[in-house]
Amino acid sequence: MDGMNIKCDFNKDVLPKIKELATDTIKAVSRKMDPNRRHSSFEIFGYDFMIDEEMKPWLIEVNTNPCLELSSPYLARLIPAMLENSIKIAVDPMFPPPPIPNSKKHQIPDAMDNKYELVFNERDDAAELKNLPIDDIMHGIIEEEELEDEGSEDEDDGGDNQ
């Protein structure tokens, strides 16, 4: 954070807090996510954070349908790599790609060369959460808000469907 004269090592001071917030969100909803325990499925979530003047990260929202628009040079590199790594982790173990000849291996990125880090493992971490009550009241509130959002989107369309 050189331009603002702030002494901070992002990877050491901020990133661990962001990972902790992400982990806490997954723990908070782990018993509600995929309640039917569908196998062979995965989701990509979009996390929005803000960092205050003290370099403390704040979780703004978690999106279940994150924007994947390649609207800047950085996102044009980041999003395709994220999607590629997601497929390598979630799909390739079930449908392995064909063997790559040694002469071509230098042209294909290594599957282990991704930036994903496991922050929650249901088999290991969910055991401590099993005794927590499932908050059906909160579930009802969320459903109510979603219905309200759908209603406001219909109104935003102008209502000129005659």
User: Domain boundaries in the chain?
Assistant: 2-135
Per-residue pLDDT of 65-109, as tens digits, reads 999 999 999 999 999 989 988 888 888 888 887 887 777 666 655
Give the SS3 label for residue 60: strand
Torsion angle defined by CA atoms of residues 134, 138, 144 and 145, in that order, rounded to the nearest 10 degrees = -130
**What's the whole-model pTM score?**
0.67
